[in-house]
Amino acid sequence: MTPDATALRGARVLITGGLGFIGSTLARRLVDLSARVTVLDSLIPEYGGNLFNLEGYEERVRVNIGDMRDEHGIRHLVQDQDFIFNLAGQVSHLDSMRDPFTDLEINCRSQLFLLEACRARNPSVRLVNTSTRQVYGRPIKLPVDEEHPLSPVDINGVHKLASDWYAHLYHHAYGLRATSLRLTNTYGERMRVKDARQTFLGLWLRQLLEGSCIEVFGDGSQKRDFNHVDDVVEALLATALCRETEGGVYNLGSCEVVSLRDLARLLVEINGGGAYRLIPFPEDRQRIDIGSFYAASDKLRRVLGWTPKVSLREGLARALEYFRAHLDRYR
């Protein structure tokens, strides 16, 4: 499903976490579709916001440096918006285990601030909430569909699951037009590469470009699916424009599944050089590792007709090219 440019032309759109990887890519796409875009981002260093992500679009996007935990600020920002894409959150699984109360504040309490603000100040707004595969925990069957048991293995997964249920509840109790998309592994240009807080793949890209050896935990047999950020953005837009998805929760999985060992090999091949090595899991990561995981997104595809367009090979090549040119902006 291709987003209807006429439906978004002139639309007022708020993106929380809008200076981050996915949020900034979404903002750029919406501006190209002639929407009026406001982004909210705290620019807290650990959470991935980067002003450079809007390079070339600085004068066409309204940037609000603020925090989702500011209840009064949220109430002001949601007024008069036609669409809200909620991408703000604490995404590091390890950080959530080390500091569960900050994760609670950002991934639960502030999510309630947003929903309450919409209920009180803008009850007709269309809200798309981003969630995570981590709500399922260690899979008992593959691919994982929306009927899979929910059993998070870390604090982040518990809190993101609560956020899903908040949105679901506000839809059914108050008629809020909310949908949650559970993302798997999103990658591409503008992703966080300074560390593995957002995704291990970003760190792998940096290691490769800096001439370091990619470090793969375990035996590398763990399987994952990956979506390029452009495909994720198209899914977000198509979801926002489809009334049938309101009140639902959907997986956003990929058609391509690859082991981590094969992924490392592919990266080295595309880069034209480099190396990887297998290392034992660090103890803190082993405790919350989920093994192989890839998602079934048939439910969303039936409703939207959405399917990924960017192959893994193409997407990795594009990401490498981008960071080869701009790595200093993301270290």
Average pLDDT over residues 260-271: 97
Query: pLDDT-derived band of residue 6, with 50, 70 and 90 as boundaries?
Result: confident
37 DSSP β-pair partners:
13, 61
Residue 116 maps to a domain: yes
Q: State how far the Cα of 79 lies from the Cα of 225, in Å rounded to an integer.
A: 37
CA atoms within 13 A on the CB side of 141: 8
Distance of CA 225 to the CA centre of its chain: 14
- Prior bond to 100 cis, omega within 30? no
Answer yes or no: is pLDDT of 326 > 90.
yes
Q: State how far the Cα of 7 lies from the Cα of 10, in Å rounded to an integer.
A: 8
pLDDT value of position 272? 95
Average pLDDT over residues 27-32: 97
Answer yes or no: is pLDDT of 289 > 60.
yes
pLDDT value of position 195? 85
Query: pLDDT-derived band of residue 1, with 50, 70 and 90 as boundaries?
Result: low
Number of domains in the chain: 1
- Greatest mean pLDDT among 141-145, 277-281, 283-287 lies in 141-145
Residue 211 maps to a domain: no
Domain that holds residue 246: 5-191+226-255+292-310
What is this structure's pTM?
0.95
Closest to 251 (Cα-Cα) out of 140, 137, 148, 106? 148
H-state helical runs in 193-282: 200-209, 229-240, 260-271
Sort 104 into a burial class: Cβ within 10 Å, 0-12 / 13-18 / 19+: middle
Average pLDDT over residues 163-188: 96
Q: Per residue in 185-225, pLDDT tens?
A: 999 999 999 987 778 999 999 999 999 999 999 999 999 99
Residue 25 maps to a domain: yes
Residue 104 maps to a domain: yes
Residue 35 maps to a domain: yes
The percentage of residues in the chain with a pLDDT greater than 70, rounded to a whole number, is 98
Give Cβ neighbours of residue 181 (< 8 Å, ≥ 6 apart).
128, 129, 130, 131, 235, 236, 239, 249, 250, 251, 252, 300
Residue 31 maps to a domain: yes
Answer yes or no: is pLDDT of 319 > 90.
yes
Average pLDDT over residues 83-101: 93
Residue 265 maps to a domain: no
Write the CA distances from 252 to 227, 243, 301, integer angstroms. Answer: 8, 18, 9
Residue 315 maps to a domain: no
Least confident of 49-53, 91-95, 117-121: 91-95
pLDDT value of position 48? 82
CATH of the domain at 237: 3.40.50.720
